[in-house]
Amino acid sequence: MVFGKEIKECKEEWEKAKEALIEIESMMAQFQSHQKALTPSPIVQRAFQKVEHCLQQVREASKVYLDINKLRKMAQRNALKNEAVSCVASINNIQQYFQTYMIFGIWEATISKQPDEGQVMTLNVLRCPTPAAYFIGREDTLKALEKIFTVPVVTISGPDQKVLDEFVRHLHKKQSTILLDATSADTLAKSVADKITQNESADILLVLQNAQVSVAEEYLHTHSSTPILISSTQPAISSLASSTACAFELPDHADQQVVKKLLNSIKEALDPRQHVVTIVANGGAGKTQAVLKFVSKNKSRFSNIWLFDATSNQTLTSNFKELAKAAGIDDDVKNVRDFLARSFSRIIFLVAIMAM
């Protein structure tokens, strides 16, 4: 019977949902027993909120599934099958979120009732060591690293602010954005208070609209975690761009082809890209300490930080296996590399320490 076939297909989809939930269960179990003793970071809290929303979706749909099995609400069987497919997709997204942000990311947690007050403990997470207290370092090296890894600041100027706003709206369709009124320091402060939360994501683009140069410049001094696009009728706004390649101008009465080309150029400029930086020096010169110092000063810039020991193939392979275990994936090196490539949008900062 057609009805029996549809019920069977529906059941198969829900079996997939069940299997996906079981995979997440082990991840959550690692943290649930420590919830009372730990102070989770905003990233971890957001991960649990996403899981709760997903589980609620599954719970509500499963009630309908039970009624269908009891030959009630038969008219809803096709809708339920689609709901099952949606749940599986949601669960898989949550799993990836856990793997990327929580399992091998940074868990900032203070353990209570420990002999050393304020001791920080990690749960299945490898953390970069704290830099040596006596490290003096070269400030020029640290500044160079900060400049390389700074999120892009892109500017666009034009004679008509309304035209600029319309241009930004086209960009808004392609990327999640937060629009901030930078007409004055007061309007910008109000926009920031109303629209930016503590859990601001690195995937968001901030747009400072109708910006005054001095107002935008002051804001840039206090913000470094997400890409920023600044629109203004003042050509001098270009001085705030990360580089000359990030400063654009929208001509008056620009045709569709020019606008399209400009949109593509700005999207490319806002792409965080992958940076590969090498520090070369004799053994004992402080290469590792320079990197650790940079990481300790700039942890907020990165969603994940992982330290690899690349002194040999054996140590590097061992680190890959540890990452795979923490992320809950197969520990084959190629599989881990593929996983990192898929997760790059989360801005994973990898530090490789190499012997001279």
Q: What is the pTM of this model?
A: 0.51
- At residue 2 the predicted structure's pLDDT band, cuts being 50, 70 and 90, is very low
Beta strand 247-249 with 153-157 is parallel
Q: What is the pLDDT of residues 101-149, one digit of tens each?
A: 544 443 333 333 333 433 333 333 345 556 666 655 677 788 788 777 7
- 3-class DSSP state for residue 348? strand
In this structure, of 27-36, 95-104, 119-128, the range with the lowest mean pLDDT score is 119-128
pLDDT at 176 over 90: no
DSSP letter, residue 244:
G
pLDDT of residue 307: 77
Question: Residue 294 in contact with residue 145, Cβ under 8 Å?
Answer: yes
pLDDT at 156 over 70: yes
In this structure, of 141-145, 151-155, 189-193, the range with the lowest mean pLDDT score is 141-145
Report the percentage of the chain scoring pLDDT > 90. 11
Four-CA torsion 213, 219, 220, 224, nearest 10 degrees: -160
Average pLDDT of the chain is 70
Q: Where are the alpha helices (DSSP H) in the chain?
A: 2-32, 42-69, 77-97, 139-148, 161-172, 185-195, 213-220, 256-270, 287-297, 313-327, 333-342
Question: Residue 126 in contact with residue 306, Cβ under 8 Å?
Answer: yes
Report the percentage of the chain scoring pLDDT > 70. 51
Residues 47-67 have a mean pLDDT of 65
- At residue 37 the predicted structure's pLDDT band, cuts being 50, 70 and 90, is very low
Write out the two tokens for 63.
Answer: 């009630």
Residues 300-321 have a mean pLDDT of 78
- 3-class DSSP state for residue 298? coil
With b for 16 or more beta-carbon neighbours within 10 A and e for fewer, the 71-102 pattern comes to eebeebbeebbebbeebbebbbebbebbbbbb
In this structure, of 119-133, 143-157, 337-351, the range with the lowest mean pLDDT score is 119-133
In this structure, of 142-151, 261-270, 347-356, the range with the lowest mean pLDDT score is 347-356
pLDDT at 225 over 50: yes
Four-CA torsion 180, 185, 190, 193, nearest 10 degrees: 80
- 3-class DSSP state for residue 208? strand
Residues 287-308 have a mean pLDDT of 74
E strand or H helix that includes residue 205: strand 205-209
Q: Which of 171, 141, 163, 350 is nearest to 260 (CA)?
A: 171
Q: What are the extents of the domains in the chain?
A: 2-103, 139-144+275-353, 155-270
CATH number of this structure's domain 155-270, picked from the four choices 3.30.310, 3.40.50, 3.30.200, 2.40.50: 3.40.50
